[in-house]
Structure 1
Amino acid sequence: MEFGAHDTVRLDGDLLRALTTGDMVRLEELLGKAGHGGGGDHPGDGNGNGSPPHRKIPQADGLGLELAINLADGDAAPVVVEAALAGYPRRCIAACLSSMARWSCILGVTSNGNTALHLVASRGHADLAEIICKQAPSLVAAPNESLDTPLHCAARAGHLEVVTRLLNVPTDESAAAELAAAAEAALRVRNCLGATVLHEAVRHGHTEVVTHLMTRDAQLASVTSDDGVSPLYLAATTGSVPMVQALLRPSGDGTRSPASFAGREGRTALHVAATKSAELAAEILTWEPSLLTRVDSAGRIPLHFAIQHGKLGVIRLFLKTEASVARVCDGEGLFPLHRAAIAGERVIIDEIVGKCTDFHELVDNRGRNFLHCAVEHGQDNVVRYICQDIRFAMLLNATDSDGNTPLHLAVKYAHPGLLSSLLQSATVKIDIINKDGLTAADLARRALPRGRSFYFLDPHALIWDCLHCVRAPDTIDGVPHLDAAGDESAEGEKAQNEQDDMRKTGTIASVLIATVAFAAAFTVPGGFVADDRPHAGTATLARRFAFRSFVVSDAMAFAFSIVATCFLVYAGAKDIPRSHRLWYSSIASGLVPLAAQFLIAAFGFGFHLVLGMANRGLMIFVYLLCSASVLLCFPGIWIPWHLGLGKAILRRVGWRGLASVHSRPSSFEQLCYSLSCSFLFANIRRPLFAVLITATFLVAIALDVALPNY
């Protein structure tokens, strides 16, 4: 409390301890000492009406509250202070203390502005709250620094008994009417968050407190916070069905609940309930059916939110209640089907299609159907499902406002898996031209990086290879300008710098592999035959299968790494044509991982020879570890097959497409060249050595078991 402009009365240490611990005996003792000094008759206000004198304090916003403090001070009579709910509450209360310093202990505050009643209310000390209310009943509406009243604190903590006693303050008849009005006004006091007591009870999930407050004043449910959020909206956000039921329960005379359903950004409580559960949505929908078609600021209805969160039960409830909601679009023109496709919800698409037979006519503001949206957002399961269902055949070649088919979009957004799913359907046409006069192959060609080599798993490269193998047609507009490859712009310089960094890294790796492989050749496992024996100086285990495999693997690792090193040196020479340097870098990038694979194989075979038959279990463990390393050190070698690109090519053009032999070759050299450039060869040669090395490991284990000395 403030005296004058600066002085503040703090709660006494003993009193604060009694309040926080709930020590009623100590509190009564402290209050008894403070109140000692007797009393007397209360003189009137000088007008002969016998009521206590009033001190008038200017109101902050016109909303007045009479603050009654039942204090006695020797010669002074009780004082009733008319205070404001807003403005400067501590100064208002302090005005009544100037003549009653002896009672300042009960009206002191903490550093956060909490009164004694705030402290006991937040801790659930109902009996102490009643004692304080008898001494200063108007503290029920006194706010702290956060503008929380004791009611806010009790409701937030879920102390139902405290809330009940604060709203039923026992007092004498002279102040009963005024204090009743104060209690009613306190129910609608807002804290710094703009929340009422009911908001706080709902936010913290205290259903019993909510039920009591609704019984006391059902109109509280119609009060929204400063940001327009109603208690019902908050309850729906928590997902509590009992809480929502308490807010929507009719009064005793059957009057409908006056609850507001308002929320942020124009959303309603049903928008939020749609993201939680069907039971919660059913409660609100039964109370107010019109909310089913109410839109938010973005034009979305609750069905859009249910789809976005994958709530199948809620979707079925909405469609059963009103099937026409499946044809309501949002501000972007997206229908529920579009939202389901974007979210990748295949089962939800089935549900909506069953209620919406004209689904193929539903397009958004950009002319896209829901297959376009699924492709654009990379929803492979939805695209595959649509391609395999004859009901959706009309969607496969439909164009949007830019003339793009789903195949165009799969190329544009670089989704090779979706391209594969589309090409596996014979209904999909690959020669459709969009508004810019470009086919899907044209878009793929334009997306290829020019002037530098590219990673074989680059999505654009995979898409171009696939379309090239199925002989997708292109147009003259899709061919890049001849001078584009030689452009020495800033972008070209950046690409060159990236290429140089990759070359340096590859050179370091290849040199390390060559060094290790060279050293391993002269430190063979098992040692050498002594000089006094036949075949002196030769390897002791030279006749073992594992040793032969070790030698072959080490030699391959050394050879591949040396060749890769030479190629990388040439790739860094500035006087060599750029196209040649790119070719050298591309070859070297494939040789270095192969060298690493064979070095791992040599490691495994070497351990086999060192461990011998006495540690067969450990030997098998080493082989398993090396097999995993061999299969994984060349990242992504299985991805083209995993994406189904080979399957798409096979279905479109047969084995000739996989082998790039679309017509009879004129010579053997042409056949070899076609095969070397084919999708089949490119995606077999990469995992080939990994499979061969793993198979050799298995043979070594089998021979060690069957023929220990072989």
Structure 2
Amino acid sequence: MYHQHIQLALPCRGSSANAMSTQLNDTRSVDMCPKLYRAVCRGQTEEVLERLLPLHGAAAADKATGIIQHGRCDILEVTAAGNTVLHLAAEKGRDELIQELYIRFREKVKSLLSRQNSALDTPLHCAARAGSDKAVVVLVQMARDCGESILECKNEAGDTALHLAARHGHAKAVEALVSAATAVAAKLNNAGVSPLYLAVMSGSVKALKAITTCKEASSVGPGLQNALHAAVFQSKAQKMVELLLKWRKDLADEVDCHGSSPLHFASSDGDCKLVGAILRDAPPRTVYKKDLDGLSALHVAAQMGHHRVAKLLLESCPDAAELRDNNGRTFLHAAANEKRSSVVSLAIKKFKDSKLRGLLDAQDRKGDTPLHLAVAAGAPGIVESLLRKGKVRVDVLNNDGKTPLDLAAESTSYFTMVSLVVTLVAFKAQTRPQRQDHLKPWDISNIVKGIEKTSDSLAVVAVLIATAALAAGFNLPGGYGEKGQANLERKPAFKIFLFLDTLAVATSMVAVILLVYGKASCSAGSWKSFVASLHCMWVSLNSLMLAFNEALVTVMPTGYRFGLMAIQLCIEALIFWITVCVAPSARSSLTHLCRFLWHRSRSKGSHAIKRQYPLAGASILNLFLFMVTNVIVSIGFLVVTYSRSLENEPLVATSPAPSPVPL
């Protein structure tokens, strides 16, 4: 025999006062016997019935201690969490056990149908959460026979059984609950969320279908969202969207607490099929809806770079392009500000020959055009598209009196600034009218700091290149003769090797000297010596590489030339990739670069451009010099590779044949 304390199980809050009073009188029960607990969980109906008494199985409680002496088990016993036998059987899906208990203990089971545990869950909540659809059907039928209204009972979170079944995507349980009482589909929990919204979030199309059979069902979600807002981001989004719009088309026109419609959500996701489905069934005014920031669905698609969605919206409602947000910006402003080149290209293609041509130069409330915003965002590719394809104006002043070229000075990236200036000046852009002595040159302090940090490392690299070149000079290809002369000293290839190796040593030493000078001077003009040292290092490195190739071609068989060619092609591809990625101005066509240099030196206002952007012209000249160096290296490699093509054997030194030994 063992002792247990009395527990109290609560009735459903939806019960009447009389029923509640009756239930409270019957709620004094003992803690559940462990053997009964295990038997119920295992679904052992016969053992459960053997342990339950027909009437009052528990001994009378000791009035002094409040402790009950167990004889046999009682159906009113509860677990530590307040779960009755009916809770456990429902949670485990033991529908046969529930039916048998109802037959044997009808009156007591009737009182347990609406009994709540410590989380205020009824047995129907437990069955719905576990997805035990048969148990749900049995409990609903029992409640109907007993006149209990358990379908609308709510737990601690305000969830009905339908909320729990929908949240976990148990379609059959949802169907059973909805068919029993359609009104429960309109109930909201404490978070203000409907079962329909939870069914969408679970991703269950069948559960969604079951609830949408109720015309009075609610679709409300958190933050004033509806089920269509949530359906956009589900794995079976298209099917759910079609079902919801078929059920209630007005869902597409509802907005959440931020003013966003489901079309805003679909545009941000970028799924053209979803957007098309909403456009087919939604009211026409949906496309023109704006959120609290004044953004339409077209603005959202432009910001996210979904050009196909933007095209679909424009084809559906062409005049949506004229919509402006709270800052007076069109969708083209939004795309330029977020560096969405695909959307900008779409707008240029749509508007450059139409009546909406003026939108390409439209100004927002700050007076900024899309070109202003593209420059401020540091997007050289978009700037070039607007200028070359869109033919936008470059002389528009914003409310601060600045042209797009003036905004290039606000860029903190050196390469971005150079690329923007090159592109703008190539299309005859000018700075705003102002006194020349008031011009502020672009801040090069960051460049000077970068030079100071990298000069030491580059000096070490230059010394290593010189060391390698000197070592190659003392380990000549072909070796040495008896008198110490090089075996290949008379060969042209050997002379080329010596020239290239000597050039590598000289240029690397010059680079070291320039780096040391720039480091010691600590002046604003130190960048010039730094750039010159970089060119010297590049020449030194390429000279050393060509000397190495010349030595190999001289002493190795002909077949090795193809291997050298493959290696050189890989190096050239790497150089090209680094040039394009590091220096965006290298992406500009040769025509643009030449036009930039011409307008920078000849056009009106060229002095202002030189004074405000002193490094732009030097960068382009250095780029040209770098490209010329690479071309020379490529030509030199071809010369080295095929220099021995007319000879059948490599120039390997051979020792003279030994004289015959006299007998």
TM-score by length of 2: 0.77
Q: Distance in 2 between matches of 1:333 and 1:561?
A: 60
Alignment partner, residue 138 of structure 2:
165
Alignment partner, residue 247 of structure 2:
287
Specify the code of the residue in structure 1 equivalent to 2:79.
Answer: V
**CA shift digits 1:471-524 (9 cap, x unpaired):** 3111245978568889xxxx96x8765542233333333333333333333335
Name the SS for the 1:530 alignment partner: coil
Return the match for 2:198 from 205, 214, 234. 234
Task: Tell me if the contact between 1:660 and 1:677 (Cα under 8 Å) persists in the aligned partners.
Answer: no
Alignment partner, residue 42 of structure 1:
none
Name the SS for the 2:72 alignment partner: helix
> How far off its partner does 1:584 sit?
2.2
Alpha carbons of structure 1 residues 326 and 413: separation in structure 2 relative to 1, 3 Å: same
Specify the code of the residue in structure 1 equivalent to 2:419.
Answer: L
**CA shift digits 1:39-81 (9 cap, x unpaired):** 5xxxxxxxxxxxxxxxxxxxxxxxxxxxxxxx5327879xxxx
Return the match for 1:383 from 322, 330, 344. 344
Alignment partner, residue 461 of structure 1:
418
Q: Does 1:258 align with 2:216?
A: yes
> How far off its partner does 1:601 sit?
5.7
Alpha carbons of structure 1 residues 75 and 629: separation in structure 2 relative to 1, 3 Å: closer
> How far off its partner does 1:305 sit?
1.6
Gaps of 5+ in 2: 9-27, 604-613, 651-663
Alpha carbons of structure 1 residues 344 and 72: separation in structure 2 relative to 1, 3 Å: same
> How far off its partner does 1:289 sit?
2.6
Return the match for 2:454 from 502, 510, 532. 502
Task: Tell me if the contact between 2:29 and 2:77 (Cα under 8 Å) persists in the aligned partners.
Answer: no
Q: Does 1:341 align with 2:329?
A: no
Alignment partner, residue 480 of structure 2:
529
**CA shift digits 1:87-106 (9 cap, x unpaired):** xxxxxxxx999476632698
Alpha carbons of structure 1 residues 471 and 613: separation in structure 2 relative to 1, 3 Å: same
Specify the code of the residue in structure 2 equivalent to 1:29.
Answer: E
Name the SS for the 2:524 alignment partner: helix
Task: Tell me if the contact between 2:360 and 2:370 (Cα under 8 Å) persists in the aligned partners.
Answer: yes
What aligned pairs does 1:52-201 form with structure 2 within 5 A after superposition?
71-73=55-57, 98=68, 102-103=72-73, 107-109=77-79, 117-131=86-100, 137=109, 141=114, 143=116, 147-169=120-142, 177=146, 180-181=147-148, 184-185=149-150, 188-192=153-157, 194-201=158-165
Alignment partner, residue 267 of structure 1:
225
Task: Tell me if the contact between 1:73 and 1:102 (Cα under 8 Å) persists in the aligned partners.
Answer: yes
Specify the code of the residue in structure 2 equivalent to 1:636.
Answer: C
> How far off its partner does 1:372 sit?
0.8
Task: Tell me if the contact between 1:97 and 1:104 (Cα under 8 Å) persists in the aligned partners.
Answer: no
Specify the code of the residue in structure 2 equivalent to 1:72.
Answer: H
Name the SS for the 2:364 alignment partner: coil
What aligned pairs does 1:470-619 form with structure 2 within 5 A after superposition?
470-477=427-434, 481=438, 497-524=449-476, 526-531=477-482, 536-538=484-486, 543=491, 554-555=501-502, 557-573=504-520, 576=521, 578-592=523-537, 595-596=540-541, 612-613=557-558
Specify the code of the residue in structure 2 equivalent to 1:363.
Answer: R
Q: Distance in 2 between matches of 1:219 and 1:319?
A: 31
Name the SS for the 1:382 alignment partner: helix
Task: Tell me if the contact between 2:378 and 2:411 (Cα under 8 Å) persists in the aligned partners.
Answer: no
Task: Tell me if the contact between 1:417 and 1:645 (Cα under 8 Å) persists in the aligned partners.
Answer: no
Alpha carbons of structure 1 residues 520 and 263: separation in structure 2 relative to 1, 3 Å: farther
Q: Distance in 2 between matches of 1:641 and 1:155?
A: 65
Alpha carbons of structure 1 residues 485 and 436: separation in structure 2 relative to 1, 3 Å: closer
Alignment partner, residue 659 of structure 2:
none
Task: Tell me if the contact between 1:380 and 1:417 (Cα under 8 Å) persists in the aligned partners.
Answer: yes
Q: Distance in 2 between matches of 1:542 and 1:205?
A: 88
Q: Distance in 2 between matches of 1:8 and 1:76?
A: 11
Task: Tell me if the contact between 1:107 and 1:115 (Cα under 8 Å) persists in the aligned partners.
Answer: yes
Q: Distance in 1 between matches of 2:137 and 2:334?
A: 55
> How far off its partner does 1:165 sit?
2.7
Gaps of 5+ in 1: 40-70, 78-94, 251-256, 665-673
Alpha carbons of structure 1 residues 103 and 366: separation in structure 2 relative to 1, 3 Å: same
Q: Distance in 1 between matches of 2:472 and 2:76?
A: 89
> How far off its partner does 1:282 sit?
3.0
> How far off its partner does 1:396 sit?
1.4
Name the SS for the 1:103 alignment partner: coil
Q: Distance in 2 between matches of 1:149 and 1:603?
A: 85
Return the match for 1:686 from 608, 626, 630. 626
**CA shift digits 1:428-478 (9 cap, x unpaired):** 111111111111111223x256xxxx74x2x12321232234331112459
> How far off its partner does 1:399 sit?
0.8
Q: Distance in 2 between matches of 1:543 and 1:97?
A: 114
Name the SS for the 1:3 alignment partner: strand
Task: Tell me if the contact between 1:35 and 1:72 (Cα under 8 Å) persists in the aligned partners.
Answer: no
Alpha carbons of structure 1 residues 225 and 522: separation in structure 2 relative to 1, 3 Å: farther
> How far off its partner does 1:591 sit?
4.6
Q: Distance in 1 between matches of 2:422 and 2:86?
A: 77
Alignment partner, residue 289 of structure 2:
328
Specify the code of the residue in structure 2 equivalent to 1:163.
Answer: V
Task: Tell me if the contact between 1:659 and 1:679 (Cα under 8 Å) persists in the aligned partners.
Answer: no
> How far off its partner does 1:559 sit?
4.0
Alpha carbons of structure 1 residues 29 and 552: separation in structure 2 relative to 1, 3 Å: farther
Q: Distance in 2 between matches of 1:618 and 1:334?
A: 58
> How far off its partner does 1:303 sit?
1.7
TM-score by length of 1: 0.73
**CA shift digits 1:21-46 (9 cap, x unpaired):** x362xx533651x336xx5xxxxxxx
Alpha carbons of structure 1 residues 72 and 468: separation in structure 2 relative to 1, 3 Å: same
Specify the code of the residue in structure 1 equivalent to 2:227.
Answer: A
Alignment partner, residue 16 of structure 2:
none
> How far off its partner does 1:540 sit?
5.4
Specify the code of the residue in structure 2 equivalent to 1:156.
Answer: R
> How far off its partner does 1:375 sit?
0.3
What aligned pairs does 1:293-304 form with structure 2 within 5 A after superposition?
293-304=253-264
Alpha carbons of structure 1 residues 213 and 555: separation in structure 2 relative to 1, 3 Å: farther
Name the SS for the 2:525 alignment partner: helix
What aligned pairs does 1:392-403 form with structure 2 within 5 A after superposition?
392-403=356-367
Task: Tell me if the contact between 1:419 and 1:463 (Cα under 8 Å) persists in the aligned partners.
Answer: yes
Q: Distance in 1 between matches of 2:259 and 2:128?
A: 35
Q: Does 1:307 align with 2:259?
A: no
In the alignment of these two chains, the number of paired residues is: 606
Q: Percent identity?
A: 28
Q: Distance in 1 between matches of 2:326 and 2:240?
A: 33
Alpha carbons of structure 1 residues 570 and 210: separation in structure 2 relative to 1, 3 Å: same
Task: Tell me if the contact between 1:448 and 1:461 (Cα under 8 Å) persists in the aligned partners.
Answer: no
Specify the code of the residue in structure 2 equivalent to 1:3.
Answer: H
Task: Tell me if the contact between 1:596 and 1:633 (Cα under 8 Å) persists in the aligned partners.
Answer: no
> How far off its partner does 1:235 sit?
2.5
> How far off its partner does 1:379 sit?
0.6
Return the match for 2:186 from 222, 226, 238. 222
> How far off its partner does 1:268 sit?
1.3
Task: Tell me if the contact between 2:580 and 2:586 (Cα under 8 Å) persists in the aligned partners.
Answer: no
Alpha carbons of structure 1 residues 484 and 690: separation in structure 2 relative to 1, 3 Å: closer
